[in-house]
Structure 1
Amino acid sequence: MQVLVTGGAGFVGSRLVRGLLGEYGDIRIISVDNYFTGTEANHVADERVTYLHDSTVNIRKLWANHGFGDLDAVFHLGEYSRIPQSFDEPDRVWEYNLHGTKEVVSLAHEHGAKLVYAGSSSKFGNGGQDEHLNPYAWTKAKNVEYIRNFSTWYGLDHVITYFYNVYGPGQITDGPYATVIGIFETQYAKGEPLTVVEPGTQTRDFTHIDDIVAGILTCHRSGSGDGYLLGYGKERSLVEVAEMFGAPYVLVPARRGERTRGQADTDKARALGWRPTIDLPDYIEQVKRDLR
């Protein structure tokens, strides 16, 4: 089996590569990553994996020029994935998300490969209206529409998953693209107050990376079509999460484009046999023990 993983050097993509290697012995994985947030430190030292530094915009030419041949599945994770920053980088969001995804969809169609797409859970907030809150959410929602329509127009074996606030080992812990849990971990380790974005009552459904990868693999094997939400299924406020660390926290100004609530309806993914197994409080307690 030969598969393409876009964003294979990123947080989720690199863990997916490891999951695929463990799931399938006879597999060849091609990772294409522009290393915008990915890093070579996430590479897996395995002869079954080939890493290419390039853009998904060039994916069809890249595939042909390297003579990779048949393609069985495409795991498309390599997109722009931060909300507040998307206001400052609309051209980059457009290129990575809309243009790049169009090319990835075309490649999958040309090879009759199954497309596993990582949609954004941001589209479900506020009765679906939250997809209009920021450039990132809007482009991700449009990509889902495009994939669904493309399947109707031309035929495309696909499954669309949605990640809810992924955290865990390998997450980005500092800089503008850091995750909430990653930021809290760094501040806790330094003995600094945790910075909670105002008002602090906004909720998120935090999901461990191992559960996300298990969900992706399950959806690849057994899922079809749209609507596979991968979350723990419990919403927690940011203040509540900060308090789990047992450290002082301070409120910082609200950020543009953020939704107020987030919780996954996991019924469709659970119907495939997937279950999240790692709860956030347990993870945080382990982090605190490791730092003692």
Structure 2
Amino acid sequence: MRNILITGGAGFIGSNLALKLVEKGYQVTVLDNLSPQIHGTDAKRNSFLYLKIKDLVNFVEGSVSCRNDWLTAIEGQDVVVHLAAETGTGQSMYEIQKYVDVNVGGTAILLDILANEHHSIKKVVVASSRSIYGEGKYKSIEKGIVYPNHRQLSALENGDFDVKYEGCLAPLELLPTDEASKIHPSSVYGITKQTQEQMIMTICPTLDIYPVAFRYQNVYGPGQSLKNPYTGILSIFSTQIMNGNALNIFEDGMESRDFVYIDDVVDATVLGIERDEANYEVFNVGSGVPTDVLTVANILIKNYGKSIPISVSGSFRVGDIRHNYADLTKIKRILQFDPKYSFELGIERFTDWVVNQKIEADNYSGSIEEMRQRGLYR
């Protein structure tokens, strides 16, 4: 299987994966629409991500929402790595049709082609997301393992940010979330990623195509878009800091995420492409370590050598989760994957890269205002 199509292959994960596959001798085709939200204007001249792959891959400018673009890109391919998606929890809560059309509709077109057209596809690797879990996995003194539902708006408005579970009076203990955990996304983005994953994992086996799904945690590293104010907390904070703007930390700053370095994500994805053991399986991809947002902010400020005020405001976004970090037991056992980058090492490499980039305009306040007007930011 030497010919690989990467949808969204000019994006952050996709471009890094493309470079690794080319280095390993694969013939790579990229299907990407060069979204201005990620690449800025005039992407073919200015996009760092596009420019680093443009002479190394067969580039098809197009959309996964267009059947003809799929047909053009898929011809002669052995593997599809389906990364193209609209991303961002907050934005998904009001650009609902767009997220469904691209994430679910685009995947439906792929599968319809695979079911009804002549092709040579033998494997489909799909980028799922930790967002499908909603709130993570917890242990209760009273009830054992529990999966709390979405936090109540009334509690959040009163500054009570911790997750609760009915009948549990003692605080819940956060546990790593494994692949068998309850799936109950709390955002439209999460719902579309769940649907995407389930469609691939359900339909591909009926077509004698091997499916593999990776539930990526929060991916970061050099090359991450500094232009997108809607997603990627490290890039959002970095752009604010480099512009000398204060940071507004949501909730109490103790909400946590599993930050996984881009090279580790690429390595895991290559294993999914190459290893037969990955076929028909779903894997978490993360660092396996939770890091709270306040810690993230302080490390970034320190690394950039800036004096930036931090406000822990108690504000919150509807649809955000409190905690989630990956249990990596399965991917370590089956694919022998073990992340190489600690958060400290990865963030150092990321910030070293940022300081050498053009300082982008800080448009974050505009994205927040969009949510505020819709009642999604309180």
- How does the TM-score come out when normalised to structure 2? 0.70
Is the Cα–Cα contact under 8 Å of residues 30 and 57 in structure 2 kept in the other structure?
A: yes
Where do 1:137-148 residues align within 5 Å? 137-148=190-201
Which of 237, 250, 259 is the aligned partner of 1:197?
Answer: 250
TM-superposed deviation, 1:38: 4.4
Residue in 2 aligned with 1:72?
A: 78
Residues of 2 paired with 1:2 and 1:62: CA distance? 17
Residues of 2 paired with 1:239 and 1:65: CA distance? 46
Going from structure 1 to structure 2, the CA distance change for 1:91 and 1:221 (only over 3 Å counts) comes to: same
The reply to whether residue 260 of structure 1 matches residue 315 of structure 2 is no
Residue in 2 aligned with 1:112?
A: 121
Local SS of the residue matching 1:159 = strand
Q: How many residues align?
A: 288
- The alignment's C-alpha RMSD in Å is 2.4
Residues of 1 paired with 2:346 and 2:196: CA distance? 33
Bigger Rg over Cα: 2
Residue in 1 aligned with 2:62?
A: 54
Local SS of the residue matching 2:298 = helix
- In structure 2, runs of 5+ residues without a counterpart are 136-146, 148-180, 303-307, 357-378
Residues of 2 paired with 1:47 and 1:243: CA distance? 39
Cα displacement string for residues 223-255 of structure 1 (whole angstroms, at most 9, x for unaligned residues): 122321110000111112222234542235211
The reply to whether residue 231 of structure 1 matches residue 231 of structure 2 is no
Residue in 2 aligned with 1:183?
A: 236
Letter paired with 2:338: R
Local SS of the residue matching 2:65 = helix
Is the Cα–Cα contact under 8 Å of residues 134 and 186 in structure 2 kept in the other structure?
A: no
Going from structure 1 to structure 2, the CA distance change for 1:65 and 1:13 (only over 3 Å counts) comes to: closer
Which of 129, 149, 162 is the aligned partner of 2:215?
Answer: 162
Cα displacement string for residues 101-137 of structure 1 (whole angstroms, at most 9, x for unaligned residues): 1122344564332101000111123336664411111
Going from structure 1 to structure 2, the CA distance change for 1:115 and 1:289 (only over 3 Å counts) comes to: closer
Is the Cα–Cα contact under 8 Å of residues 240 and 247 in structure 2 kept in the other structure?
A: yes
Deviates more, 1:195-204 or 1:256-265: 195-204
Residues of 1 paired with 2:298 and 2:38: CA distance? 30
Going from structure 1 to structure 2, the CA distance change for 1:180 and 1:273 (only over 3 Å counts) comes to: same
TM-superposed deviation, 1:14: 1.0
Which of 296, 308, 312 is the aligned partner of 1:251?
Answer: 312
Local SS of the residue matching 2:254 = coil
Is the Cα–Cα contact under 8 Å of residues 123 and 130 in structure 1 kept in the other structure?
A: yes
Going from structure 1 to structure 2, the CA distance change for 1:81 and 1:178 (only over 3 Å counts) comes to: closer
Which of 188, 194, 197 is the aligned partner of 1:135?
Answer: 188
- How does the TM-score come out when normalised to structure 1? 0.89
TM-superposed deviation, 1:256: 1.6
Cα displacement string for residues 148-177 of structure 1 (whole angstroms, at most 9, x for unaligned residues): 221344332111001110111111224433
Cα displacement string for residues 75-123 of structure 1 (whole angstroms, at most 9, x for unaligned residues): 1000111110011211111111111011223445643321010001111
Which of 124, 140, 149 is the aligned partner of 2:133?
Answer: 124
Which of 263, 278, 284 is the aligned partner of 2:341?
Answer: 278
Which of 92, 110, 129 is the aligned partner of 1:86?
Answer: 92
Residues of 1 paired with 2:352 and 2:203: CA distance? 49
